[in-house]
């Protein structure tokens, strides 16, 4: 929320896009940082001419990665959607 948004009283608008346009709310992106050792291994294999890169296609090694990690990998799109919705709800509740 901007300083203008913090100073506003009873905005009464539940449209985030309109609040952004009015300068009451500022959208800030979530930085996505990825660590893909399995994909990196596949890329390395293909760059050096290895024939084992088929094993790294798609989610072929997701089960092996999760087993080595000791946890399930979170779906990043669901996680970010959840955080976006929580952020919007918090902003609207504070206006």
pLDDT digits (tens, 9 = 90+) for 44-60: 666 666 555 455 455 56
Q: Look at residue 10 in the predicted model and tell me its pLDDT.
A: 74
Single pTM value for the model = 0.58
Give the model's confidence band at 77: pLDDT under 50 very low, under 70 low, under 90 confident, else very high. confident
Using the CB atoms, write b or e for 17-41: b if 16+ within 10 Å: eebeeeebbeeeeeeeeeeeebeeb
What integer is the mean pLDDT of 32-40? 65
């Amino acid at each position: 929320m901007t300083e203008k948004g913090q100073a506003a009283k009873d905005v009464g608008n539940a449209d985030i896009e309109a609040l952004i346009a009015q300068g009451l709310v500022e959208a800030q992106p979530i930085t996505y940082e990825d660590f893909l050792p399995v994909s990196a291994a596949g890329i390395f294999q293909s760059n050096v001419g290895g024939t084992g890169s088929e094993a790294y296609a798609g989610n072929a090694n997701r089960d092996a990665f999760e087993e080595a990690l000791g946890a399930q990998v979170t779906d990043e799109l669901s996680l970010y959607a959840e955080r976006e919705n929580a952020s919007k709800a918090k902003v609207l509740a504070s206006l």
